[in-house]
A = this chain, B = another copy of it.
Amino acid sequence: MPELQTGGHQGYLRIATEEAFAPPELIRAYERILDRDDVDPGFESLMGFYLRSKSERAQAVFRRLQDLGAERLADMDARGIDRQVIAVTGPGTQILDRDSGVAMSELINDRLAEACQRHPDRFTGMAACAPQDPAHAAKEIERAVSKLGMRAVVINSHTHGEYLSDPKFWPIFEAAEALDVAIYLHPQTPPRDMVGPMLEAGLDGAIFGFGVETGFHALRIITSGAFDRFPKLQIVLGHMGEALPYWMYRLDYMHNAGVRSNRYPFMKPLKKEKVSNYLRENFYITNSGVAWEPAIRFAQEQIGVDRVLYAMDYPYQCPPEEVGILDAMSLPPQVKKMFFQTNAERLFKLA
């Protein structure tokens, strides 16, 4: 593998778009939640591992998550990453109670904005918010975008088992659409009433449960009609679209069959008729966690080369070899540049 360098020598800059951090205050809040008797079981599995396991993997993630300085920059240099688009790690503020979530979202945004101001050529930030308080969330998104220079919003999937398909959360969509910033719908473990069998099998996390949870969330948003109310809203999904591109035919067929037969009285026809129309017009997809050309090409062919972006998933998955694998993809040079650089520049208004 050739040495990885920043600076665009390979014909494009590498902009990694699903990169995580956690301020120490959030880690301490997680510690307190982990000590509770009624801790959410998916959270306990996830953060109990990353905060308390003595394994090399957990300790490396724990340390790197909290750094927005020298170690992160050195890791980026060693992997040839020119820029990270950074968001608070899952589940972000969304495991906290309402008031703590509100306060933490402000702290996260202030902290991330400071780091981005220190390293404007290397870091871009996504706004955190606390959906527990939709009105505050909308205001905090406005502050983070207008005052702090954030270029997107991150939502770490469900909030105490509730989903953005519920209109009570739509002030968040309204703010994102009005400010013209995308929402990155990032995984967390499924909620209490979905995660049980997955925990039993050790499949609740990134291996399977994350994808179920986040694909489910995206599909709920589509079938709720939210995009008919907010037609310019754009949502970013990692992990090659959480398998939704591969499911498109079945989603279209079964949504249509269900609506026509009125199986669920609350499930109504959509303006664009097909679920896949929304996937193609209201979603961007990153390859976080999936350094694999066949799935990337599939998504490019189905969703569009202008809607598939590079992501590393630092610090959870960051082997330099994966950058080499992706550099070596047999895509036309202009498509590779879209993938690594220009799609992100357009979506996050970087250029």
Q: Which residues of A contact B (CB under 8 A)?
A: 49, 53, 55-58, 158, 161, 163, 165, 190-191, 193-198, 201-203, 205-208, 211-212, 215-216, 219-220, 223-224, 239-240, 243, 245-251, 253-255, 257-258, 260-264, 266-267, 289-292, 294-295, 298, 301-302, 317
Contact = CB atoms under 8 A, between A and B. Distances in A.
B255 A207 contact: yes
A56 B261 contact: yes
A49 B267 CA distance: 14
A202 B267 contact: yes
Contact of A223 (B202, B267, B294): B202
Contact of A203 (B202, B219, B292): B219
Say whether chain A's binding surface is mostly helix, strand, loop, or mixed. Answer: helix
A245 B290 CA distance: 13
B294 A251 contact: no
Given A216-B208, A249-B295, A263-B49, A197 B163 contact: yes
Contacts of A317: 253, 257
A71 B195 CA distance: 42
Given A49-B261, A249-B290, 15 more contacts: A53-B261, A55-B260, A194-B195, A194-B196, A194-B197, A194-B198, A202-B258, A202-B266, A205-B263, A246-B298, A249-B291, A250-B290, A253-B289, A294-B298, A298-B298
Most buried by B among A246, A262, A263, A290: A246
Contacts of A193: 193-194, 196-197
B161 A261 contact: no
A157 to B, nearest CB: 11
